Amino acid sequence: MPGHEIIVAGERIPAGTRVVTWLEPRGYNAYAGRGPFSLRRNSLPAAEQQRIARHGWTRASLAQVVDQFVLHYDACGLSRICFDVLQKRQLSVHFLLDIDGTIYQTIDLKERAAHATTSNDRSIGIEIANIGAFPPGAAQPLEQWYRRTPDGRTHLTIPARITNPGVLTPNFRGRPARPGPIAGSVHQQSLQQYDLTPEQYAALTKLTAALCRTFPKLRAEIPRDRSGRVLMRKLPDAELARYRGVLGHFHLQENKVDPGPAFQWERFITDVRAQLR
């Protein structure tokens, strides 16, 4: 369906959810104002590497390389702001996920985006609009973005200083999937964070399933410890080198905590697997 497709090495692939690409008037174009992206380094046979260098990636060749999907929160709260920050910092990511569940694809998935350090060559990345996670004594930004109403509901409230939120859905009023700040820990650091919106979970689930179908080496898995619980710390380097699946930014770097303690890993991966059945 037009408007529900991602672009992979020039091919349009069904995503099952609303996607605005960089080619559309309301899209975010990470190609603008910069030179060509670096080629993804890979261990494909020499002849295939030479073909890619001359003629570019195909969907089939890219499927031999991509095996990780990295989830970030943007710490900006809105995709429009996140995109501007990334451009100014000369960083890049394949997808942005706004508060209303709209996905923006900023570059073709063939590109090597600068978002995940050692995993850039093998990964796809997404920045999820969420102001982020904070230690209990420094959580004032959460008060600026969320309001509790008398009926006990929590509403996502865009601060008045942001005059152009850029949210695609007119008059969108978002609510976190769970009321109140969620307390948890990443790297044994105590943090508070509000959950994603239901619209974000729904869109992320469908996108992830589409990516798993497109890239067979990208498994519908999440990092776990020996007891089977979601791992809330960095993967050891040797494990990260072998890992194929979905992971958070904090699984790559000890100085990162996104997508944060509020992210519902079990719910998410269960829903992705249901989409794949």
Q: For position 219, which CATH number holds?
A: 3.40.80.10
Structural domain contains residue 62 = no
- Domain extent at residue 101: 1-34+67-277
Q: Give the pLDDT score at 186.
A: 98
Establish how many alpha carbons lie within 13 A of residue 87's alpha carbon, considering only the half-sphere containing its beta carbon: 16
- 227 part of a folded domain: yes
Provide the sign of the torsion angle of the four alpha carbons 164, 99, 26, 38, taken in this order.
positive
State the pTM of this model.
0.97
**Number of domains the chain is built from:** 1
Encoded tokens for 89: 């910092």
Residue 61 lies in a domain: no
Residue 45 maps to a domain: no
Q: What is the distance in angstroms between the CA of the first residue and the CA of the last residue of the chain? A: 20
Residue 150 has what pLDDT?
A: 83
3-class DSSP state for residue 82? helix
Strands 11-14 and 5-8, bridge-based pairing: antiparallel
Per-10-residue mean pLDDT of the chain, 277 residues long, equals 91 97 97 91 95 96 98 98 96 98 98 96 98 93 92 91 96 94 96 98 98 98 97 98 98 98 98 97
Domain assignment present for 42? no
Per-residue pLDDT at 111: 98
Beta strand segments in 98-188, E: 103-105, 123-128, 146-148, 154-156, 182-186
Within-domain flag for 60:
no
Residues whose CB falls within 8 Å of the CB of residue 130, separated by 6 or more in sequence, listed in order: 73, 74, 75, 77, 193, 194, 196, 259, 260
The answer to whether position 43 is within a domain reads: no
13 DSSP β-pair partners: 6
Residue 46 lies in a domain: no
